[in-house]
Amino acid sequence: MLREKGFNTFVIVGGLTAWRKAGEPVESVPENDLVKLPTFS
């Protein structure tokens, strides 16, 4: 869909797992991006 809309798009092979395995930098997901599931405790 992104390509149909004219975006030059690529897919990273192996995703986040491959990125981590290669030792590339990661960061914590910001709090406001987290959608927490309800807890019943």
Partner 1 sequence: MFSLMARHGYALTFALLLAEAIGLPFPAAIALVAAGAAVAAHALWGPYVLLAAVAALLLGDTVQFWLGRYMGWALLGFLCRVSINPETCILRSAESFYKRGKVTLVIAKFIPGVNTMAAPLAGSMKMRFWQFLRLDFAGALGYTLTYLAVGYLSRDFLAAILRGFHAAGRAMEGVIVAALVVYALYRVVQYRKHRMYRVVPRVQVQELAARLASEDASHVLIVDVRSHGYYDSGGARIKNSIRIEPNNLEEEIKNLPKDKDIYLYCT
Polymer length of the chain: 41
State in angstroms the smallest separation of the CB of 4 from partner 1: 10
Instruction: Kindly determine how many residues on this chain lie close enough to bind partner 1 according to the rule CB under 8 A.
Output: 36
**DSSP summary character for residue 31:** G
State in angstroms the smallest separation of the CB of 22 from partner 1: 4
> Cα(31)–Cα(5) distance, rounded to whole angstroms?
30
CB contact at 8 A, 7 and 13: no
Question: What is the pattern of x (binds partner 1, CB under 8 A) and - over residues 8-27?
Answer: xxxxxxxxxxxxxxx-xxxx
Residues that bind partner 1 in the complex, under the rule CB under 8 A? 1-3, 5-22, 24-29, 33-41
